[in-house]
Structure formats: structure tokens, C-alpha cells
């Protein structure tokens, strides 16, 4: 889990970094006291245990079921929740129960969860967008519309190159499309050997 952001109609914004320990069960909110009480608190959950679901289906499919469809089992220590909708899509996210309850206790209805998979940056062009946080890579492939969106764990730059190569080959999208990346130099350097990479 990372940034917590306060937002209101006057476009003010406060940010604080949340560091998680012990499997994501604990975090300190001491630095978040400056967020005004009338602002939403947007929490970005960093996890590969996430999948996108059309908003129209969220009333008929539980977040648990949505994750199960993609082969992801929700553990006893976790709860599956839906994020706030973005461009008619929601994310089903598995999060530690204790961590989630702590957030709810602190922020109640102000709490809004999100994931990098819901970003629509570069959606207007044929492209591949990557955002790497730790060992998690969020992948979004666009070709007139969103063709693929998933989060994977990667152990090395070589593994990421292998995975991206497979995605492009299977999708039929030209390997010359731009790849936009937010991530470490190691990953950028590895991908630049084979693809048109644009750092953000």
C-alpha cells in the first residue's frame, strides 16, 4: 500500500507515504493528520492480487468471485473489496483484513481504494504502459481499447523482458509500439535493448 491522498472540490491535495510491515498488517497514520476531515482519503493498494471488472458487473459478481475467476484465492486473513470506479471499471482487490479494518476505523466513508491498473494514461494510443512498484509490475495494453490489464510479480529485469515479449507476441500488437514505463533504471535499461521505451 502506498500514497494516501486527500482531495476536495477546491483541488487541494495532501500526500503521505505509508510504510507497511509484517505482511501489510500495520501502518502508521501519524503523518496523515493534516488531511482535512472533509476530504476523501485515496489509498493505492500495491498488490498483484487484483483484477479489473466492468462496473456494471460489480452488483452481480462479488470481489471474491472476480478474483477466483482469474485463479486468485482470497486467503482467510484477507478480504476482497472493490475499488472506486474509474471510467466504468472497478478493481477487485485482496487486502489483509486487519489492515483494511484499520483504514476503515480511521477514515470510514472517506476511504477510497484504488490501484495503478485503473490508470487510463496513454489509453488514447496504441501502447503498453508499465508501472513498477517494488517487485510488482502493473501492465496495461491498449489497441483502440484496453486489451490487457494485469499485475504480476517479477523477480528480475530479464523476467520482465520475457513476460513483455510474450504479451506482445500473443496480442498481435506490433513490437514497435511505445512502452511507457514508471520504474527503476534496471528495468528500463533491459527493455530498451529490444523496444521503444519512454520513461515517465
CA proximity to 184, closest of 163, 199, 165, 164 = 199
Residues 173, 80: one domain? Answer: no
For residue 120, give the DSSP letter. Answer: -
What residues make up the domain containing 145? 127-199
CATH of the domain at 51: 3.30.420
- Cα angle: 187, vertex 188, 194; to 5 degrees: 100
Same-domain status, 24 and 75:
yes
What pLDDT does residue 39 have?
A: 83
Per-residue model confidence (pLDDT) at position 41: 85
Answer yes or no: do 107 and 139 share one domain. Answer: no
What is the Cα–Cα distance from 102 to 170, expressed in whole angstroms? 42
Predicted local confidence at residue 40, as pLDDT: 85
159 with 100, same domain: the answer is: no
Helix-helix angle 157-171:185-192, to 10 degrees: 50
Residue 101 and residue 138 in one domain: no
The last residue of a domain, from among 61, 83, 118 = 118
Total number of domains constituting the chain: 2
What CATH number should be reported for the domain holding residue 144?
3.30.420.40
> Are both 192 and 160 inside the same structural domain?
yes
Task: Look at residue 155 in the predicted model and tell me its pLDDT.
Answer: 94
pLDDT digits (tens, 9 = 90+) for 124-162: 999 999 999 989 999 999 998 999 999 999 999 999 999
Other beta carbons within 10 angstroms of residue 25's beta carbon come to 13
Query: pLDDT for 23-74, tens place per residue?
Result: 443 445 555 566 677 888 888 899 999 999 999 999 999 999 999 999 999 9
Least confident of 19-28, 71-80, 185-194: 19-28
CA nearest to 46, candidates 7, 3, 14, 81: 3
Q: Which three cell numbers mark 90?
A: 472497478
Q: Could you say which of 92, 118, 144 is where a domain stops?
A: 118
CA distance 104 to 110: 9
Q: Could you tell me if 17 and 103 lie in one domain?
A: yes
13 and 58 co-located in one domain: yes
Amino acid at each position: 500500500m502506498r500514497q494516501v491522498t486527500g482531495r476536495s472540490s477546491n483541488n487541494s491535495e495532501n500526500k503521505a507515504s505509508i510504510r507497511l510491515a509484517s505482511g501489510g498488517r500495520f501502518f502508521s497514520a501519524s503523518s496523515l493528520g493534516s488531511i482535512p476531515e472533509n476530504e476523501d482519503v485515496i489509498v493505492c493498494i500495491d498488490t498483484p492480487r487484483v483484477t479489473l471488472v466492468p462496473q456494471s458487473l460489480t452488483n452481480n459478481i462479488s470481489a471474491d468471485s472476480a478474483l477466483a475467476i482469474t485463479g486468485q484465492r482470497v486467503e482467510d486473513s484477507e478480504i476482497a473489496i472493490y475499488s472506486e470506479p474509474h471510467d466504468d471499471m472497478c478493481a477487485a482487490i485482496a487486502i489483509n483484513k486487519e489492515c483494511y479494518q484499520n483504514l476503515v476505523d480511521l477514515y470510514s466513508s472517506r476511504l477510497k481504494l484504488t490501484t495503478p491498473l485503473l490508470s487510463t494514461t496513454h489509453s488514447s494510443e496504441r501502447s503498453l504502459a508499465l508501472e513498477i512498484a517494488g517487485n510488482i509490475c502493473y501492465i496495461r495494453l491498449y489497441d483502440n481499447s484496453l486489451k490487457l490489464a494485469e499485475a504480476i510479480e517479477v523477480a528480475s529485469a530479464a523476467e520482465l523482458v520475457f513476460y513483455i515479449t510474450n504479451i506482445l507476441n500473443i496480442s498481435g500488437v506490433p513490437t514497435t509500439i511505445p512502452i511507457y514505463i514508471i520504474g527503476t533504471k534496471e528495468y528500463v535499461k533491459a527493455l530498451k535493448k529490444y523496444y521503444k521505451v519512454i520513461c515517465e
